Structure 1
Amino acid sequence: MLTAPTRFADALLPEWELHANPPRTAAYALARRSLHSQLIGLSYLITPTADINVDVDDVRAVLRHACSLRAGYATASGPGRANAASQAAVAACRAYLLGPEPVRPPDAALLSVVGRGEVDMTELIAITDYVQSMFGTEMEILFGHGTDEELAEELGVGLLIGYG
């Protein structure tokens, strides 16, 4: 099952590195492994049936002008799942930075939300509001949401943040 998501991360990360040309340090190697893992998780959010589709071109739009990247993916269930999943996804984003330390807020973000069945509008608003409160309201957000019946009662939140 990980074959396609791993290929997704294996293809997109070198594509970005070719453009951004980040310094290859020991810290970079550690951050790259973490971001690669987060991109694998994020890839699951662009493949399910979606009401509002997020695809590889949306990922590339965030990567295209980014000098630094953050990525995070998390799931949560139960009451408050939107808050829990968005907080965990943001925490995963903040854990590792790929590229130089940004000197200004992010330029672009990909935000994808999936759940089993309908995702409640109040959950979508809570997630979007939290992400904007953590990263700023000036960035362009490419947004998608859809369904994934394998999630049971979980809600999945994926983020890819690009700094120019």
Structure 2
Amino acid sequence: MSMIGEYARVTPAELDRARRDPEWALDLVSARMNAEPADGTDPAAARCLDIDKAWDAVGFLLRRTSFPVDIVHGEEELANADDWGYGPPRCLAPDRVRAAAEALASISGADLTAGVDPADLARSEVYPTIVWERGGGESLDYVREHYDALRPFFRAAADDGDGMLVWLG
């Protein structure tokens, strides 16, 4: 089973309710995920986004830039939340989503992966290590593709004043 990085935009009122009632939040997110087209929605218009197995590489590469927000794991626990796959969800408050969107705007996918090759990810045991061990430029293209989807997703969330639920599913 693969660990997939998952995101859901939520309004401030929905975030407040999710903090009080994580079970309600799971129902909300599940309904939204089922409502969005399977062939993908423009990230700027989506309410939910997954970055597949690129999440750990994105996190590794962002940490190298001293990125100000933990967009891969979230920054705040949802108290009493059940496991949504590989642990409970975490969240980002609207001000942290805005800070992330501003920082993401200044780092292109090409900038993010500059000076890195798959061997660097393999040596650092970035998930999924088997992909990096095989090498090849396609693995960095894969990371850039998913990272480049995060940028408009966070920008749209910030523009709308949304918070974010984040989890590994």
Structure 2-normalised TM-score? 0.28
Larger RCO: 1 or 2 (CA < 8 Å, sep 6+) = 2
Report which of the two has the higher share of strand: 1
Structure 1-normalised TM-score? 0.29
